[in-house]
Amino acid sequence: MSEETIGQRIRRLRDAAYLSQAELALQAGISRAVLSRLENDQAVPIQRTVRRLAEVLGVDPHDIVQPSELRAKRGEGAAA
């Protein structure tokens, strides 16, 4: 079984919180387009974005992404 991606985790946590992309994006202070790119693994979240998403979703930032994942993903996709 493959490991969950950052985007898949964000989507799972958003679904568990019964939030639409638009609702989560608004509450986290990011655009819906950025959230969509994150959920589709087309961008890597910056720390501030991870903290904002975690706060809105009521989870620890490490439930969304591990520091090693951020380091490994830098350079693969645009940061958001």
The residues spanned by each domain of the chain are: 6-73
pLDDT at 69: 75
Q: Classify residue 3 as exposed, middle or buried by CB count within 10 Å of its CB (0-12, 13-18, 19+).
A: exposed
List, for residues 14-49, the tens digit of each pLDDT value. 999 999 999 999 999 999 999 999 999 999 999 999
Q: What is the CATH number of domain 6-73?
A: 1.10.260.40
Q: How does residue 58 score in pLDDT terms, banded at 50, 70 and 90?
A: very high
Q: How does residue 1 score in pLDDT terms, banded at 50, 70 and 90?
A: very low
Distance between CA atoms of 16 and 76, rounded to whole angstroms? 28
pLDDT at 67: 75
Distance between CA atoms of 3 and 20, rounded to whole angstroms? 24
pTM of the full predicted structure?
0.85
pLDDT at 77: 53
pLDDT at 56: 98
